Amino acid sequence: MYRLLAWLLLALLRDVSALWPRPQTLSTGSTPLRLSTSFSIKYAFNNVPGDLKDAVTRTKGFLANDQLELLTPDRGASYGSAIKKAKQLQSLTLSLTGKGPIQSISEEAILDLTERQESYNLTVPADGSGATLSAVSTLGLLRGLTTFGQLWFSLSDTIYTLEAPIRIEDDPAYPYRGFMLDTARNFPELSTAGAYSSSSVYTESDIKNIVSYAASRGIDVMVVGQVALHTRFLSTTWDLQEIDTPGHTAVIGNSHPDYVACQNLQPWTQFANEPPAGQLRFTDKTVINFVQSLFKSTASLFPSKLFSTGGDEINMNCYAQDNVTQQDLAKSGKTFEEALSTFTQQTHSVLENLGKTPVVWEGKELSCINKVLILLKMDLLRNGVGS
């Protein structure tokens, strides 16, 4: 019994059902096939974008260098003679079935979510005739290459599969997949000093490198500026522009403490969800102008159509105790919700004018905030940004 279970487990680990992301449809056979030593990846079209060529080069590099062995106790050795006798795959041919001019992966990765086409079909015949990968877009070809690279194992110097023929039709299950690279949250000094040290910031060229590195790998980088509350995050965001406009760092951190309510107040638990306390005085027209120009200059560094403006974890007590905010509210005759809505609309309008879709956290803390966020979420949903 245990032996049977172990065998089943090994059978499971061994096969291409371990592909990631898991293809929508996958059919496999049981014929061994190996990559020819002269295996090549070809294009059935001209004007191949540079980042697709790079993706092909990376795929060939993974195939040659990964040396992934079969997950069996003998690492595939018992298949040695079958692999030696196996037919050889000479080539994988990439073709594009989309209409219109060929775009680079980087261009396609930042299209509106509704326009991105990531589907691909991949076939690896068992008889040694050429494998084919077809897609509507270069982004789809990238996804297909990612899958193709995972089909193979190594035994000595031979790269092989035991499961030819393989046919995959794939398409994203969700409109988008995301992950968060949170490099600012753990810098507690940011609200006062801006960063751990003068080198603990993203320079403009760092940003450009990250964005282009990610785009050529089919990843759309959306910056998250937590301006409604997290002024420490704001400082980080500001540091993005330190090279362009060095004076501004001092403006926020030193010259304009008046932009921020309850800055560093203690005990911080009464004024913030996380230390240190400090929230933008969003009722102040000057602060709105400042955030508008911050968004504008930050947005210019990120080609993505999406731009997150935060809206997370607003602490009500901070504003209730902040005389400036209360005076602003009294003067304008607006409720807290109305003033926040004005701030949100005016700061978001800058992004909308740049053709970007603002993205916000789905806040749960306050019913009044929810109104704004739900409204925004509806906008996002209309634009195809599910949540």
Ligand X SMILES: *[C@@H]1O[C@H](CO)[C@@H](O)[C@H](O)[C@H]1NC(C)=O
Q: Of 383, 339, 387, which is closest to residue 113 (Cα–Cα)?
A: 383
Query: Which of positions 177-216 make contact with ligand X (CB under 6 A)?
Result: none
| Contact status: 99 vs ligand X (CB under 6 A) | no
Q: Helices (H), strands (E): how many in the chain?
A: 14, 10
- Closest to ligand X by CB, 104 vs 326, is 326
Query: Which of positions 321-360 make contact with ligand X (CB under 6 A)?
Result: 323
Choose which of 121, 283, 315, 341 interacts with ligand X (CB under 6 A).
121
Choose which of 28, 59, 106, 119 interacts with ligand X (CB under 6 A).
119
Taking the complex as a whole, the smallest distance from the CB of residue 336 to ligand X amounts, in Å, to 17
| Contact status: 148 vs ligand X (CB under 6 A) | no
| Contact status: 319 vs ligand X (CB under 6 A) | no
Taking the complex as a whole, the smallest distance from the CB of residue 340 to ligand X amounts, in Å, to 21
- Closest to ligand X by CB, 27 vs 335, is 27
Among 104-112, 134-142, 203-211, 247-255, the segment contacting ligand X (CB under 6 A): 134-142
| Contact status: 169 vs ligand X (CB under 6 A) | yes
Q: Of 85, 81, 80, which is closest to residue 69 (Cα–Cα)?
A: 80
- Closest to ligand X by CB, 169 vs 189, is 169
- Close Cβ partners of 331 (under 8 Å, ≥ 6 residues apart): none
Q: With contact defined as beta carbons under 8 Å apart, do 216 and 105 qualify?
A: yes
- The first and second tokens of residue 88, run together, are 């050889």
Taking the complex as a whole, the smallest distance from the CB of residue 329 to ligand X amounts, in Å, to 13
Taking the complex as a whole, the smallest distance from the CB of residue 216 to ligand X amounts, in Å, to 21
| Contact status: 97 vs ligand X (CB under 6 A) | yes
H/E element holding 154? strand 153-155
Query: Which of positions 33-92 make contact with ligand X (CB under 6 A)?
Result: none
| Contact status: 134 vs ligand X (CB under 6 A) | yes
Q: Of 172, 142, 115, which is closest to residue 48 (Cα–Cα)?
A: 142
| Contact status: 262 vs ligand X (CB under 6 A) | no
As a whole number of angstroms, the distance between CA 133 and CA 383 comes to 31
| Contact status: 135 vs ligand X (CB under 6 A) | yes
The b/e string for 114-130 (b: 16+ C-beta within 10 A; e otherwise) is eebbbbbbbbbbbeeee
- Closest to ligand X by CB, 119 vs 347, is 119
Q: With contact defined as beta carbons under 8 Å apart, do 138 and 108 qualify?
A: yes
As a whole number of angstroms, the distance between CA 235 and CA 260 comes to 12
- Closest to ligand X by CB, 263 vs 308, is 263
Taking the complex as a whole, the smallest distance from the CB of residue 97 to ligand X amounts, in Å, to 5
| Contact status: 315 vs ligand X (CB under 6 A) | no
Among 51-59, 102-110, 113-121, 293-301, the segment contacting ligand X (CB under 6 A): 113-121
| Contact status: 120 vs ligand X (CB under 6 A) | yes
Taking the complex as a whole, the smallest distance from the CB of residue 23 to ligand X amounts, in Å, to 12
- Closest to ligand X by CB, 42 vs 208, is 42
Of the residues 108, 189, 313, 365, which is catalytic?
313
Could you tell me how many residues of this chain bind ligand X (CB under 6 A)? 9
- Closest to ligand X by CB, 106 vs 119, is 119
- Close Cβ partners of 140 (under 8 Å, ≥ 6 residues apart): 117, 118, 119, 120
Taking the complex as a whole, the smallest distance from the CB of residue 121 to ligand X amounts, in Å, to 4
Among 115-123, 194-202, 206-214, 220-228, the segment contacting ligand X (CB under 6 A): 115-123
74 in helix, strand or coil? coil
| Contact status: 137 vs ligand X (CB under 6 A) | no
State whether the Cα torsion 322-325-330-331 is positive or negative.
positive
Determine whether 381 is exposed, middle or buried from the number of CB atoms within 10 Å of its CB (0-12, 13-18, 19+). Answer: exposed
Q: Which long-range contacts link 190-194 to residues 24+ away (Cβ below 8 Å)?
A: 190/232, 190/233, 190/235, 190/236, 191/231, 191/232, 191/235, 191/260, 191/263, 191/264, 191/276, 191/278, 192/253, 192/264, 192/276, 193/253, 194/235, 194/236, 194/238, 194/239, 194/249, 194/252, 194/253
* Residue 156, CA distances (Å) to 18, 79, 90, 148, 361 in order: 22, 12, 19, 20, 51
As a whole number of angstroms, the distance between CA 105 and CA 141 comes to 9
| Contact status: 136 vs ligand X (CB under 6 A) | yes
362 is catalytic: no
Active site residues: 313
Q: State the residues that interact with ligand X by CB under 6 A.
A: 97, 119-121, 134-136, 169, 323
